[in-house]
Structure 1
Amino acid sequence: MKLSVIILNYNVRYFLELCLKSVNEAIKNIDAEIIVVDNNSEDASCQMVKDCFPDVILIENKENFGFSKGNNIGVSKAKGEYICVLNPDTVLPEDCFEKLLQFSEDKDNLGIVGCKLINGHGDYLPESKRKIPFVRAAVKKLSGNPEDYYATHLGENETGKVSVLVGAFMFMKRAVYASVDGFDEDYFMYGEDIDLSYKVLKAGFVNYYFGETTIIHYKGESTLRDKFYAKRFYGAMQIFYKKHFKKNHFFNLMVWLGIRLVYLFRRTPVSKNKTVDGYLFVSNKLNPKLETVLNKEVELKPDLDTKLVLKNTEIIFDANVLSYKKIIDLIESTHQDKSITFKILPKNSNFIIGSDNAIARGEILNFD
């Protein structure tokens, strides 16, 4: 088997359904398997997987083991030469894995490969490629100055060597993952991807950012960034520093002070209420249930000219008609106007879904 896709899920049933539908399209021409590890969700995630995706391998944990252990459980069941650790709140283009396999096959000492991530509003996510987060860089990052935290030597659409990739999408050979003992289970949430990236580098492998494929990451859905994010993030950084750097009392004091100062003075972002004056449905046939659930007229647009979209418009993409790659491309080309928002109607589904920012829960509207 060529590829195993491991998706760790926790209480994001509808985002998981959208993710699985996009992954299914992306592995159509590849000898691959999908493994969903559920961390004791309280929603209907597991039943949805059983009903809608009978070919998916489902592992139902009886408690929430966190990111590291949950993914390690999934990888332990994988059979693929390559693995992809994937967040459930992502959407992949159909050619994603074919491109990555083609890129990876001729690389010596291949470590982890990441790709370009955008959020549900189409904004590029700079954590797609990062540097090793030494103390000063990590403190500056949460203080609002990420200059030394992100890998800015590469453009977002370029490809090249980087140090750290993001845990929402990590593609690598299963043997590489095993050689460094996978994710460190001392981490529960945050920091695991930094630690794994660094372990892979220290083992002599080369990590790459591949900017030639783009995925959506509805950032914040599986791990909502509330006011305690800074505390959790720096707790993870403390584990990282203790594990990988020599003990130094001054160093430890700087970490301790950085955590507390940022936690005390960092303001929690406030999500703004959006205004929607009109809806566009990009499809070849209007869905009458849309107008009912939205309680407003919906304009059908078989061909979307992104330059003519009015302000305060919400665009709904029909994945029964459009490829996920096309949807991602259209979101990227329209995102400059921050008043325009996006939803996706997944293939053969009865809901629309989207997320407008990283500090609020996504929005799901059911037709039933």
Structure 2
Amino acid sequence: MIDLSIIIVSFNTEKITNKCLVNLRRNLKKYPLNYQVVVVDNGSKDGSIPMLKKIAVDWKNLKVVLSNKNLGFGKGNNLGVTNSKGKYILYLNSDAIITDIDFFDLINVFKTKPDLGALTVKVVLSTGEIDPASHRGFPTIWRSFTYFLGLEKIFKNTFLLNKIFGGYHLVNLNLKEIHEIDVPTGAFLFTRRDIIDKIGGFDEDYFSYGEDIEMAFQIKKLGYKIIYYPLWQMLHLKSVSGLKKTDQKIRKKTSFYFYDSMKIFYRKHYAKSHNWLTNKLIYLAVDLKRKLIS
């Protein structure tokens, strides 16, 4: 069996996807292993498809899967896994730049920790700061409340209070040390195929955003741990897509999916524990936040 399958979903990001693949291939030459890269193109209308076909000509480990429409992040990744054979799976964003990661080391972490369900490396932004989405707690009502009110930011560096008010991004934990987290980012989510088979991959109720939170929840529900592993790091060029797009239509659509995913997760896991009025207020708060951002 192939050691590692790297799954990448591409949608109208020709240049950045090309940069992702060029750097990934160079890294895999530096740290060789039995691998395959599966790129699912979600019906791109730019030059992504010709670019992918050109790269695949002389890269035998690259498999290109074409969809005639945009399946979304979760469904696109599930299609990629269906077309893969690796014992371990890495979900990698098309705007992720990897230059120095030994994947064998990550595989060995799993081999020595049978209760490990998933891990992520240190994911940094272009600013050099950690991508906050890569180091999260589950978005309970309290954690979401303290984060969106700005209390997490206020008490980020205050001992004890950062644990009470900073659970959304687990700001009390040392980013230089290996430790357990609740939610990694879907931009770099390393896991085992047998676990993916048990949970059924990404939940396709989410179109874009929230899939990684749901997957982490399901992995932990099975009794596995998820760890933050900062011995290696990658660059996430997050601004090239989504909420930071300059195109107003794309931003509006992305904003809808982003905040809708919050309601989907809440409805699936927290709504049953609260009365109808609390739930109504939560949904109204999410909608208000979306309108304020938009």
Deviation at 1:26, TM superposition (A): 2.8
- Aligned pairs for 1:10-159 (under 5 A) are 10-28=11-29, 29-54=32-57, 55=60, 56-146=62-152, 147-159=166-178
The residue correspondences of 1:148-187 to structure 2 (distance < 5 A) are: 148-187=167-206
Distance 1:142 1:189, change over 3 A: farther
- Counterpart amino acid of residue 39 in structure 1: N
Distance 1:211 1:251 in 2: 38
Task: Please tell me whether the aligned partners of residues 210 and 261 of structure 2 are also in contact (alpha carbons under 8 angstroms).
Answer: yes
Q: Residue in 2 aligned with 1:244? A: 269
Q: Which has the higher helix share?
A: 2
The correspondence of residues 228-239 of structure 1 with structure 2, limited to 5 A, is 228=252, 231-239=256-264
Deviation per residue, 1:175-216 (Å, 9 max, x gap): 111111110000001111000000000011111111111100
Distance (whole Å) between structure 1 residues aligned to residue 73 and residue 7 of structure 2: 12
Q: Secondary structure at the match of 2:242?
A: coil
Q: Distance in 1 between matches of 2:40 and 2:151?
A: 35
- Given that 2:74 and 2:202 are in contact with CA atoms closer than 8 Å, whether structure 1 keeps it comes out as yes
Pairing 1:254–2:254 present: no
- The answer as to whether partners of 2:271 and 2:279 remain within 8 angstroms in 1 is no
Alpha-carbon distance in 2 for matches of 1:201, 1:76: 23
Aligned mates of 1:36, 1:144 — CA distance in 2: 38
Q: 1:212-223, aligned counterparts within 5 Å?
A: 212-223=231-242
Q: CA RMSD in A?
A: 1.9
Match of 1:5? 6
- 3-state SS of 1:36 partner: strand
**Identity across the alignment (%):** 32
What is the distance in 2 between the residues matched to 1:107 and 1:72? 25
Quick one: distance in 2 between partners of 1:99 and 1:22?
A: 19
SS class of match (2:23): helix
Residue-by-residue CA offset, 1:217-261 (whole Å, 9 max, x unaligned): 001323243664554322111111221235231331231221133
Q: Which amino acid aligns with 2:46?
A: D
Which aligned pairs between 1:227-306 and structure 2 lie closer than 5 A? 228=252, 231-247=256-272, 248-266=275-293
Give TM-score, length-normalised by structure 1. 0.68
- Partner of 1:154, secondary structure, is coil
Q: Deviations over 1:10-48 (max 9, x none)?
A: 111111111111221233311000000000011111111
Q: Tell me, in whole angstroms, the C-alpha distance in 2 between the residues paired with 1:69 and 1:92.
A: 24
Question: For 2:241, what is the secondary structure of its paired residue?
Answer: coil
Partner amino acid, structure 2, of 1:104: F
User: Cα distance, 1:98 vs. partner?
Assistant: 2.9
Residue by residue over 1:273-305, the C-alpha shift from the partner in whole angstroms, topping out at 9 and shown as x without a partner, is xxxxxxxxxxxxxxxxxxxxxxxxxxxxxxxxx
Deviation of 1:109 (Å): 1.8
Letter in structure 1 aligned against 2:13: V
Q: Is the 8 A contact 2:16 2:94 kept in 1?
A: yes
Gaps of 5+ in 1: 269-368
- Identify which of 194, 202, 215 aligns with 2:221: 202
* Aligned residues between the structures: 267
Query: Are the equivalent residues in 2 in contact too, given 1:10–1:222 (CA < 8 A)?
Result: no
5 Å-filtered alignment, 1:308-327, equals: none
The runs of at least 4 aligned residues of structure 1 exceeding 6 Å deviation read none
1:26 touches 1:97 (CA, 8 Å); kept in 2? Answer: no
Contact 1:143 1:262 in 2 (8 A): no
Cα distance in 2 between the residues matched to 1:3 and 1:77: 13
SS of the equivalent of 2:122 reads strand
Relative to the length of structure 2, the TM-score reads 0.85
State the SS of the aligned residue for 1:130: coil
Checking the alignment, whether the CA contact within 8 Å between 2:262 and 2:286 is kept in structure 1 is no
Q: What is the distance in 1 between the residues matched to 2:263 and 2:232?
A: 33
Deviation at 1:172, TM superposition (A): 0.5
Q: Equivalent residue of 1:165, what SS?
A: coil
Instruction: Tell me, yes or no, if the aligned pair for 1:11 and 1:222 is still in contact at 8 Å.
Output: no
Partner of 1:356: none
